[in-house]
Amino acid sequence: MFKLIKKSKKSQARLGILKTAHGTLKTPFFMPIATKAAVKNLTTDEIRELKSPIILSNTYHLYLTPGMEVMKKAGGLHKFMDWRGAILTDSGGFQVFSLSKIRKILPQGVEFRSHLDGSKHLLTPKKVLEIQKTIGSDIAMILDVCPPSTASHKEVAEAVSMTTKWGKEAKRVIKLKEFSNSKQLRFAIVQGGIFEDLRLKSLKDLAELDFDGYAVGGLAVGETNQEMYQVLDYLAPQMPDNKPRYLMGVGTPENIVEAVKRGVDMFDCVIPTREARHGRLYLQVKSGFGKGFYETINITNAKYKNDFSSINNSNLKKYSKAYLHHLFKTGEPLGMRLATLNNIEFYLKLMDDIRKYIKRGAF
């Protein structure tokens, strides 16, 4: 399922292969986000052309809309959105805690009201696996409790303990006949905030349950970069070597580079798509990953009005910055679309470069 190809001698960086029901993926990789069954502004044809082998979609959103009745009839998310690559779906836990204002953690799961219509729902470890089975994702995440960055040691300890409890329940469910004959991979999510003892406990508990991969959740939720790197410094070396490691919701290009150095294999983040919608473009400045290897520019800035230099990423080469500036200033939707193409391409190329550097021992 996961094969470690190479470990860097200069850092903890790893090169690997992850087999899924929809393709074999080279790690480390980045997953463009298709929250509601579409990468914002882009077609799946474009994602294919950009050569992303995997996208991420959100269990919480798909569960609420279009809902599982539609998803079942559609024959799963791959068919629904015309995507033939791999799909990872998250557990829904993070969205319940960030989007729903009313929720209650019960021993059996998390009860919440929809942020759309106030309807009441209960997500249990089993329910979350059922939803992801209906979606048909290649990698499913186990339900977790994701506390905010401001949570106390006690609160985080409770979250860790509940996450373990739910992990055990999920493991029981996965062994049921209706789940065990699936090619779907299931990853558990390590919680613990920025508390070393809790992180290590969460990892130990979940590692014993032998999931297909391990994610680090509850980071990039408000802590500093240094705090995030510190967690990875002590956590990653303890993570199973033969399982993929996924840092959820991260991050900036620097965050990704630093996390790869610490042994992380998988990433997802809204940055490239969200920033594109505000006219922020990610542009490579030089090869390698040293200080200033890329820049971000805000194309709505007046200085681009008369800048006829082209945007260098392959999809935008034929357009000038002045044209993209014009599209954003006049509210033409093509602007967001082109900026999204640019940023996704930047992130995918970043991962490609990272893999190349690890391969030749230069990372």
Residues with active-site annotation: 90, 268
Give yes or no for residue 76 binding a second copy (CB under 8 A). no
- Site stretch for a second copy (CB under 8 A), options 48-56, 166-174, 279-287, 332-340: 332-340
- Site stretch for a second copy (CB under 8 A), options 186-194, 201-209, 330-338, 347-355: 330-338
Q: How far is CA 357 from CA 137, 229, 288, 289, in A?
A: 30, 21, 8, 10
Choice between 2 and 80, CB closer to a second copy: 80
- In three-state secondary structure terms, 39 is coil
Q: Find all residues with CB under 8 Å of 196, minimum gap 6, and list them.
A: 231, 234
* Total number of residues that touch a second copy (CB under 8 A): 36
- Contact 335/343 with Cβ under 8 angstroms? no
Give yes or no for residue 302 binding a second copy (CB under 8 A). no
- Site stretch for a second copy (CB under 8 A), options 6-14, 33-41, 98-106, 349-357: 33-41
Choice between 221 and 336, CB closer to a second copy: 336
Number of neighbouring beta carbons within 10 Å of residue 76? 16
Q: How far is CA 39 from CA 58, 216, 317, in A?
A: 11, 23, 22
Choice between 8 and 137, CB closer to a second copy: 137
Give yes or no for residue 114 binding a second copy (CB under 8 A). no
Q: Find all residues with CB under 8 Å of 358, minimum gap 6, and list them.
A: 6, 8, 13, 14, 15, 28, 260
- In three-state secondary structure terms, 3 is strand
d(CA 235, CA 246): 12
d(CA 358, CA 289): 12
Choice between 163 and 340, CB closer to a second copy: 340
Give yes or no for residue 65 binding a second copy (CB under 8 A). yes
Give yes or no for residue 280 binding a second copy (CB under 8 A). no
Give yes or no for residue 57 binding a second copy (CB under 8 A). no
Quick one: which of 15, 33, 42, 215 contacts a second copy (CB under 8 A)? 42
Give yes or no for residue 270 binding a second copy (CB under 8 A). no
Q: Find all residues with CB under 8 Å of 150, minimum gap 6, and list them.
A: 222
Residues at the contact surface with a second copy, assessed by CB under 8 A: 36-43, 61, 65-66, 69-70, 73-74, 80-82, 305-306, 308, 318-320, 322-323, 326-327, 329-330, 332-334, 336-338
